[in-house]
Chains A and B, each alone.
Chain A
C-alpha cells in the first residue's frame, strides 16, 4: 500500500488529501453506515469498556452532554480560585501563604486541562469563556458562598476538594479519553489540596477556644453546600440515566454523596468537630452513615443566580478578562513582529 495523508473535517468528509489510496476510498464507500448502525457500534464499544477518542464517531447527544459537563467543570476550577484567592494576602504565615498560592495556581491548571479536553469535542475555548462571562454557562454553586474567615481555607480544602476527589476519581474512569486523562492528572494533585485543608482544620481544632470556635463555624457553614455539590438526587436529575448508559458517569449522584459522607464523618470525629446534622448516624446494617434532608430549595436558588456571591464572582471574572486584554493583544503583536522580522 502507498503512503497517504487524508484530512477530514468534523463530519468525517475528506477535505484534502495527498496520494489517496484507491483501496482506502473503496473501503470508505463500503462501510458508509447508517446512524442507527453507528450508534449500535458506539454503544457496543462503551459496553465493552473501550474509550472514545476525539475523532471517533459519537452521537450528537454524547458530544453535547460532554461539552456541557466538561465546560461546567472547567469553569468551576476557574471560579473556584476566587474564594481562596480572597485569603492569600491574609494567610497567617509564610508557609500557609506559599501553600495557598500553589493550590490556587493548581486550580488554574485544572481549568486549563479541562478546557483543553473540551476543545477536542470541536468547541473553541474562547467560546466557552464567553459563555461563562455571559452567564449562560454554569459552574459549581458552592463557589457562590463567601469565605468569611481563615478557617474557611481549611474546610474548603477538606470538604470541597474532598468532595471533588470523590467525583473526579469516578470521572477518571469515564468513557471519553481526553476527559478521563485530565481527571487522572487532577486527582494526583487534589490529594495535596485536601491534605493541606485538613491540616489547617486540625491545627485550628487543637488550638485556642477561639480558634476551635472559628473552625466549627466554618464547618457549620460549608457542610450542607458541600453535600449539594454532588447535584440533585438521581430521581430529580434528568441527565443521569443517559450519562450513566454512556459511562460518562459511572456512579449516581446519591452514591457519590454517600461515599463522601462515609469518608468524612470519621475525619470530623478525629479532630473533635461536629457536623451540623442531628440526623447523622451510622446504620449498623448497611455500614453507611444516614444523614438529614438536604435543602434543595436553597440549592436551586443559588444555581439560578441568587446565592450570596453569584454576581461578585462573575464580575471578578469579567474584570480579569477585560484587564488582561491588553496583555493578550500585546503578546500577539510581539509574536507577529518577531515572525515578520524572521
Chain B
C-alpha cells in the first residue's frame, strides 16, 4: 500500500481490486494515480485489465485503507493461535463410520 505519500500533482493514489469473473473475490491488483473516482476506474481498467483480467473493479483511496502492522502481527493474531479445536482435524471420529 502506498499511504503516507503526498502526490505533488494533486492526483490521489487509489488501490485497485479486480474480480476476474463473477463468483470470484475481488483481489488487490495494485494502484493508480487519479484526480477523482471516475478517472481512477478508467485508469485502473487501462492499467490492470488490458486483457480482460477483470469483470468488475473496485478503487479505494489509498489513505482510506487501514492495515495491520507487521511488527504487531504476533500479538494481534495471537488469539487464534491456541484454538486448534476450531479445525475439524482436532476431532476423532470412531472407526467404522463412513461418509461422515
Contacts and interface: CB of A to CB of B under 8 A. Distances in A.
B7 A27 contact: no
Interface string A220-236: 00000000000000000
B23 interface: no
B50 A120 contact: no
Contacts, number: 84
Contacts of B69: 6, 8, 12, 55
B83 interface: no
B62 to A, nearest CB: 9
Contact of A122 (B4, B8, B11, B74): B4
Nearest to A130: B8
A280 B92 CA distance: 67
A116 B31 CA distance: 6
Contact of A56 (B13, B32, B70): B70
Interface of B: 1-2, 4-11, 13, 30-33, 35-36, 39, 46-47, 50-51, 66-67, 69-72, 74-76, 79
What 10 pairs between A and B have smallest CB-CB spacing? A335-B36, A335-B35, A126-B8, A332-B10, A331-B35, A119-B2, A332-B35, A27-B75, A56-B70, A116-B30
Contacts of B6: 124
Interface string A191-228: 00000000000000000000000000000000000000
Contact of A55 (B31, B70, B74): B70
Contacts of B70: 53, 55-57
Contacts of A127: 8
Contacts of A189: 50-51
Chain A interface, DSSP helix/strand/loop, else mixed: helix
Interface of A: 1, 5-10, 12, 23-24, 27-28, 31, 53-57, 102, 105-106, 109, 112-113, 116-117, 119-120, 122, 124-127, 181-182, 189, 328, 331-332, 334-335, 338-339
Contacts of B13: 119
B1 to A, nearest CB: 7
Given A55-B67, A109-B46, A23 B75 contact: yes
Contacts of A57: 70-71
A328 B11 CA distance: 8
Given A112-B32, A119-B13, 18 more contacts: A1-B75, A1-B79, A5-B66, A12-B69, A12-B71, A23-B75, A55-B67, A57-B71, A105-B50, A109-B46, A113-B30, A116-B2, A119-B5, A120-B2, A189-B51, A332-B10, A332-B11, A332-B35
